[in-house]
Structure 1
Amino acid sequence: MMVLFWRWLFVGLVLLPMSIMGRFVVEKNSLRVTSPEKIRGTHDSAIGNFGIPQYGGSMAGNVVYPKDNKKGCKDFDDFGLSFKSPPGALPTILLLDRGSCFFALKVWNAQKAGASAVLVADDIEEPLITMDTPEEDGSSAKYVENITIPSALVGKSFGEKLKDAISDGDMVNVNLDWREAVPHPDDRVEYELWTNSNDECGVKCDMMMEFVKDFKGAAQILEKGGYTQFTPHYITWYCPHAFTLSKQCKSQCINHGRYCAPDPEQDFSTGYDGKDVVIENLRQLCVFKVANETEKPWVWWDYVTDFQIRCPMKEKKYNKECANAVIRSLGLNIEKIDKCMGDPDADTENPVLKEEQDAQIGKGSRGDVTILPTLVVNNRQYRGKLEKGAVLKAICSGFEETTEPAVCLSNDVETNECLTNNGGCWQDKAANITACKDTFRGRVCECPLVDGVQFKGDGYTTCEASGIGRCKINNGGCWHDARNGRAFSACLDIGGVKCQCPTGFKGDGVKNCEDIDECKEKKACQCPECSCKDTWGSYECSCSGDLLYMKDHDTCISKTGSQGRSAWNAFWLILLGVVMIAGGAFLVYKYRIRQYMDSEIRAIMAQYMPLDSQAEVPNHVNDQRA
């Protein structure tokens, strides 16, 4: 009894400050009544925290309020009731009253009876709350995991309006819309997962571990492609200052009561302590930080899944030695991780865990994180079952239209609405071009960009190529044809598409261009010896006998042997002329060289002896004049 008393005292004292300061935000989807007219309009509904909400989509259905088992706490088979919609009819959305049993049990019984979704009407006038899963026990664990239909809570007054309309015999049609449940401002989704390394907390821990293992592949694809930014978080509590020295706080907390976790087995006398969980949570945070520094944040998913498999509490391997073995196998730096973790016995703040406590407090549109596990997508808390397909839908709904990665448009997640009647958008079947773009929320009709050419129009009835290069796309809407390996187009891209029939054709250039018979119109082969043959887009001329047709001159010339001899004669005449010119040039050159050499020699000799043409030079050496 003393252990039980301390356990409840510890939990109560630790959680009380968080609940007083906490701000819980209910995540809503839009519920629109389409008929009858008297209650037509849009209303809020709070998404249940189980089942699979259709994030990014919507569901139209017919609301049914059962005559018996109105709270849905018993199996509807006991009352002979079925809510399965006949083929071609709208899905059945079952309206139930709050009270007497768990929300999840109501939805489970409705699902078994064939309902496609459930609305639970509140029994008191109050702000909307989130329908959560029950505390784990053997009976609830059997059905909570198997709930797949969406559910939502509606206010009491609105629930009464729905019941009154059904009672009056009106057909009540509503549209549940989750398309705006997650903000989608740009081409990257930021999401975070609030989790725990404890594997002995029952069904929720088992669900958490299964989800991390199943979702790892998709998460790493999104992260490696730069489509998402993921951050793991871990909830921590603190021990009131007056109890930090107590045995209970010491066993559940580190850093002198600043960071605590509940005892895994809920028994202080055996097994692992809460502080063991806090230390491993801290280690997993530091694994993420060190991996992020190496620009490989997705390694966190590998560490967490490997640690779950290799180091479970049940096998008494939940310890530092086993954790370090996993870290080494992933090539991470153990020293950096240990430095990041710091000293758990120090009487100081741990910066990593302090940051986690600050992040736990709600900011903006996001409320405080009070439920484990919790997924937050684009700062909006996810509601529903943590299941790979459901979570991937929620993340994909966070991308701006037409920016979703391929994994979001796979058959496992989304159907391609462009496959049926081209989504009702414009298309050019001949050129295999369409304005239909499949997105996660549905198709959009948007004129495409093809081979650098932008089409413009409303996307529904018209799309026309614009800008340079338009002739590459379906010939700019002009006439074109191909025959016998030859192709012609009337498209001219000269600052603006102009449809003009090419040479050899005549017509409007848009719908038709007809071949011109150049032979009949006497535009070709006019020489006397010529004969003309019309071809598609052109013509052929030939000459009679041994004559050869010269197209440039529109004439015929001889192609016999005499023509060859004449060519050789011309060749020899040209060659002889070249030789004669070269010989003459050589003689001139030789004459001028000789003349130049003679004048040079005569000048030199004149320095030593008079030449015949010069007078005798006086002897200056024997001159005796005073």
Structure 2
Amino acid sequence: MREKLSFLLCVWILLCGSCLGRFVVEKNNLRITSPKSLRGVYECAIGNFGVPKYGGTMVGSVVYPKLNQKACKSFDEVRISFRSKPGSFPTFVLVDRGDCFFTLKAWNAQNGGAAALIVVDDRSEALITMDTPEEEKNDEYVEKINIPSALVSRSLGDNIKKALSSGEMVNINLDWREALPHPDDRVEYEFWTNSNDECGPKCDNQIDFVRSFKGVAQQLEKKGFTQFTPHYITWYCPEAFILSKQCKSQCINHGRYCAPDPEQDFSQGYDGKDVVIQNLRQACFFKVANESGKPWQWWDYVTDFAIRCPMKKEKYTEECSNQVIKSLGIDLKKIKECIGDTHADNENPVLKAEQDAQIGRGSRGDVTILPTLVINNRQYRGKLEKGAVLKAICSGFQETTEPSICLTPDIETNECLENNGGCWQDKSANISACRDTFRGRVCECPIVQNVKFVGDGYTNCEASGALRCEINNGGCWKESRGGRAYSACIDDHTKGCVCPPGFRGDGVKSCEDVDECKEKVACQCPECKCQNTWGSYLCSCSGDLLYLRENDMCIGKYGSTATANGSIVWMVIFILAAAAAGGYAFYKYRIQRYMDSEIRAIMAQYMPLDNQPPQVPSHGNQEI
């Protein structure tokens, strides 16, 4: 067995020689905002695990632990916690490279409460991609990593450590907004996959991803938001090994297209050439489905094939595949024509195109990591999981053109959970200006129960419009006492909050009662007696007098003697009554005159009056 595996490894290295031409490290920006000595923008390499915040940003404060600086042990063992306190920045843990897998460092940092992991390279070299361990060492925790990870250069890491040791606070903004291109309103993406289901956790994860992402992918494709293409990696067998048993079991078309043995054992199970043929069948299925205008059916085929035709049940066969194809209504004859003769000593057009597509062009490097995605011609980094991949695809749309599925809770960033994202909020009314999107949180004054709030979204938001007082009283002061209620809210939001009559204050936090009696603004006539009440006052008159609030005076009851002020009032009333009576008489006189003239005019039309001469008709000039 060891000899066979050793030979396989040698062949594998030879086969992979052609695909190691140009591997591109995908990067994002790291902006240091403090201290001033380090302020600037730097590059960091995106880890190929966890969840990079594609399309968004993340702000945090850096911590370099005094113990467990390589993060190869649980931080609980050394009693260190990175969980941030309310109102403070999330914690970015800075650790050193070495001694354990990158994924284990990320897992320990995540369990310790860190929001992101920053690994410092231990050698002076160009940035590399932090990848997941090999399949046999790939523990289950890898798929549970949800924080982003980044690798920084040794020089930058040393400078950050130096600043921290001097007692300076290092704040960093991780920025993925330009990690993937987003030129227009359509995203083009490729899924580099494999039909092999016996490669361990990676194969299991790939099958789970296809099953969970199928609905989203088909929805985006049917509505024209995306253009999807599946691809399959194959290698060629070096000419010196074409006649070997190993190449014959792993390759088709005389060594032109090869795949490794699924079980890495040539004596049992399926061979690599079985995988190549099924890869070709899946590629041809997509080609035929795409030509019929239904490219999204590829997701149905791959999902159904994984369920109905697994290797473990020895159903990974052409017969089982044909049954799946027929159930989906795709022309089987066209697929067979596309597959062609796998024993022929010539090139297969479909697989030749797949090999050509593996080679990087432009900003995209060679595809060497399997499975992976290429989004807008840039390789995706991060775990293969529905929410993470959807977030990346959504970041490929030009801003404001994202489909509605990109604004659903499925891919929210949860930044509003920490200190309300730094946005305005009214805890008493449970209203917040923080809105979560896949690009990160947005501080935007909300609309609540058809009432629009206006403001900057960060320090203030005020309800506006006719219904503003219905929502938390428009943010204005309101109080009730003894069955009376007063409010400083005015429906016209331009006037803000104004204390009602009888109160003074800012109208927002407080309105204090005005003592009208003490300040002598009411009830000031000589016979008046003033008593202050909350929000108003009571005024009474001495003796047998009545108080007129509008005129702030006392008058007599039922003709009894009144004060001089009361006499004046009665005199004014008498004058007004006389003026009204005169006006009414004049009005009647004018009406009578008008009616007389109208009657005379009507009668003149039917009979001549005594003082008018008879009228002689006039015929004008006539011509004979």
Q: TM-score, normalised by structure 1?
A: 0.67
1:407 alignment counterpart: 405
- CA contact under 8 A between 2:53 and 2:439: conserved in structure 1? no
Matches of 1:412 and 1:257, distance apart in 2: 45
Matches of 2:244 and 2:68, distance apart in 1: 51
User: Residue 137 of structure 1 aligns to a residue in which SS?
Assistant: helix
1:478 alignment counterpart: none
User: Any idea what the Cα deviations from partners look like across 1:297-346, whole Å, max 9, x if unmatched?
Assistant: 00000000000000000000000000000000000000000000111001
**Pairwise CA distance, 1:14:** 1.1
Distance 1:342 1:529, change over 3 A: farther
Q: Does 1:101 align with 2:63?
A: no
Equivalences for 1:461-610 in 2 at 5 Å?
A: none
- Output the amino acid matched with 2:79: G
- Output the amino acid matched with 2:284: C
Distance 1:186 1:444, change over 3 A: farther
- Structure 2: unaligned runs, 5 residues or longer: 425-434, 445-457, 459-589, 603-624
Matches of 1:50 and 1:439, distance apart in 2: 18
Equivalences for 1:142-181 in 2 at 5 Å?
A: 142-181=140-179
Matches of 1:227 and 1:8, distance apart in 2: 42
**Pairwise CA distance, 1:288:** 0.3
User: Residue 31 of structure 2 aligns to a residue in which SS?
Assistant: strand
Structure number with greater Rg is 1
The root-mean-square deviation of aligned C-alpha atoms, in Å, is: 3.2
2:227 alignment counterpart: 229
- Output the amino acid matched with 2:18: P
Q: Does 1:15 align with 2:13?
A: no
**Pairwise CA distance, 1:41:** 0.5
Matches of 2:133 and 2:66, distance apart in 1: 26
- CA contact under 8 A between 2:33 and 2:172: conserved in structure 1? yes
**Pairwise CA distance, 1:444:** 10
User: Residue 74 of structure 1 aligns to a residue in which SS?
Assistant: coil
- CA contact under 8 A between 1:408 and 1:440: conserved in structure 2? no
1:297 alignment counterpart: 295
- CA contact under 8 A between 1:438 and 1:444: conserved in structure 2? no
2:335 alignment counterpart: 337
2:7 alignment counterpart: 6
2:391 alignment counterpart: 393
Matches of 2:411 and 2:115, distance apart in 1: 18
User: Any idea what the Cα deviations from partners look like across 1:525-564, whole Å, max 9, x if unmatched?
Assistant: xx97999xxxxxxxxxxx9xxxxxxxxxx99x99xxxxxx
2:282 alignment counterpart: 284
Matches of 1:234 and 1:107, distance apart in 2: 30
Matches of 2:213 and 2:156, distance apart in 1: 38
- Output the amino acid matched with 1:12: I
User: Residue 384 of structure 1 aligns to a residue in which SS?
Assistant: coil
1:351 alignment counterpart: 349
User: Any idea what the Cα deviations from partners look like across 1:408-453, whole Å, max 9, x if unmatched?
Assistant: 01122237999x99x99xxxxxxxxxxx9988466699xxxxxxxx
2:210 alignment counterpart: 212
- CA contact under 8 A between 1:56 and 1:181: conserved in structure 2? yes
**Pairwise CA distance, 1:9:** 2.5
Distance 1:215 1:92, change over 3 A: same
User: Any idea what the Cα deviations from partners look like across 1:216-253, whole Å, max 9, x if unmatched?
Assistant: 00000100010000000000000001111111111100
Matches of 1:243 and 1:334, distance apart in 2: 34
Matches of 1:4 and 1:371, distance apart in 2: 21
Distance 1:262 1:415, change over 3 A: closer
User: Any idea what the Cα deviations from partners look like across 1:250-288, whole Å, max 9, x if unmatched?
Assistant: 110000000000000000111000000000000000000
- Output the amino acid matched with 2:81: S
Distance 1:17 1:283, change over 3 A: same
Distance 1:39 1:437, change over 3 A: closer
User: Residue 70 of structure 1 aligns to a residue in which SS?
Assistant: coil
User: Residue 206 of structure 1 aligns to a residue in which SS?
Assistant: helix
Q: Does 1:274 align with 2:272?
A: yes
**Pairwise CA distance, 1:10:** 1.8
Matches of 1:198 and 1:529, distance apart in 2: 110
User: Any idea what the Cα deviations from partners look like across 1:53-79, whole Å, max 9, x if unmatched?
Assistant: 111111100000000111011111111
Percent identity of equivalent pairs = 66
**Pairwise CA distance, 1:374:** 1.0
Matches of 1:358 and 1:317, distance apart in 2: 31
- Output the amino acid matched with 1:233: H
Matches of 1:97 and 1:440, distance apart in 2: 29
2:257 alignment counterpart: 259
Matches of 2:414 and 2:222, distance apart in 1: 25
- Structure 1: unaligned runs, 5 residues or longer: 425-435, 446-459, 461-526, 532-542, 544-553, 559-626
- CA contact under 8 A between 1:24 and 1:367: conserved in structure 2? yes
Matches of 2:51 and 2:112, distance apart in 1: 17
User: Residue 139 of structure 2 aligns to a residue in which SS?
Assistant: helix
User: Residue 269 of structure 2 aligns to a residue in which SS?
Assistant: coil
Aligned pair count reads 448
2:493 alignment counterpart: none
User: Residue 315 of structure 1 aligns to a residue in which SS?
Assistant: coil
User: Residue 228 of structure 2 aligns to a residue in which SS?
Assistant: strand
Runs of 4+ in 1 over 6 A off after TM superposition: 415-418, 436-439, 527-531
